[in-house]
Structures are given as structure tokens and as C-alpha cells.
Amino acid sequence: MIQKTYLKTKDYCKVKFSFAVENAETVEILGLNSDWQNSVIMSKKKDGSFSAEITLPKNSQHEFKYLVNANEWLNDPAADGELPNVFGGSNSLLSLSEPAIAEVVKETKASKEAKTAKKSKEVKEVKSKPAAKKAAKAKK
């Protein structure tokens, strides 16, 4: 499981990795920030799964793999995707594109304002029509 937490006031995202694999004594994450030399060592939990929490830049993509027991490379099925690697296999893909909530809010606000303006215009037109009828009757 990969859990992403976007912070409105920060330029980074908190990412929590949780990974369960049978007979694992150690699990490391490699490849984040294009760093395949320095691993993130995951902590083993009581239930046998492993977890790690790190911060990564918003609006970035990262290829990574888990290294289990220092000899087995595994992808994360919960990753955002997979990309082919130079060894003929694939790497897990983590995409940290911030959700466009601000854009949705802007669009919603703009459409509400447009509807309000349209209703105001319709009300003014309705009010002005009876006045125009009275003026036309007065001229007759």
C-alpha cells in the first residue's frame, strides 16, 4: 500500500509505504529520487509487514523497487504504474501530482457566479417588462 498526503503549504508530499512479503527479514526501497545506491530501510511491524514514511517533492515521478533480504527485487502492486528498466524487467512508478482541487473549486465558484449573474439579469428583465407595458399603455 502507498499512502500519499499532500500538504497545502508545503512543496513536498508525505508518502507512507507498506509492504508485506512472506519470509522477509529485511526490506529496502531503492530508486526514489533516482538514487539506486542509498536505500530507505523499512521497519518491520509486529504483523510481519514492513513500512517506511518519507517526504518527496510534489509534482514528481519516481521509479523504485523493493529489495527483499538483500537479494530479491520486487515491484509494488499498489504503485501508480510500472516502467520498463534497462535489465529487461520493470520498476514500480510513483506519481506525485497534486490533485487539482484548487482548479475544481475555481471552476465551481466561477459557474456559480455565472448562474447568479444570469438570474440577476433575468430578474431585471422581468421587472422592466411590466414597466415597459405601463409606459406603452400610457402613450395610447
6 and 46 belong to one structural domain: yes
CB atoms within 10 A of CB 92: 22
What integer pLDDT is reported at residue 8 of this predicted model?
85
52 and 89 belong to one structural domain: yes
* Whether the Cβ atoms of residue 10 and residue 17 lie closer than 8 Å to each other: no
27 and 58 belong to one structural domain: yes
| CATH classification at residue 91 | 2.60.40.10
pLDDT beneath 50: ranges in the chain:
101-109
15 and 75 belong to one structural domain: yes
118 and 92 belong to one structural domain: no
Instruction: Tell me which residue range forms the domain holding 106.
Output: 100-140
What integer pLDDT is reported at residue 121 of this predicted model?
56
Number of compact structural domains in the chain = 2
What integer pLDDT is reported at residue 137 of this predicted model?
58
Q: Please tell me the distance from the alpha carbon of residue 65 to that of residue 29, in angstroms, as a whole number.
A: 6
Q: Please tell me the distance from the alpha carbon of residue 15 to that of residue 98, in angstroms, as a whole number.
A: 13
125 and 66 belong to one structural domain: no
The continuous run of DSSP H or E covering 30 comes out as: strand 27-30
pTM given for the model: 0.68
78 and 104 belong to one structural domain: no
67 and 25 belong to one structural domain: yes
pLDDT digits (tens, 9 = 90+) for 98-137: 765 444 344 444 555 555 555 555 555 555 555 555 555 5
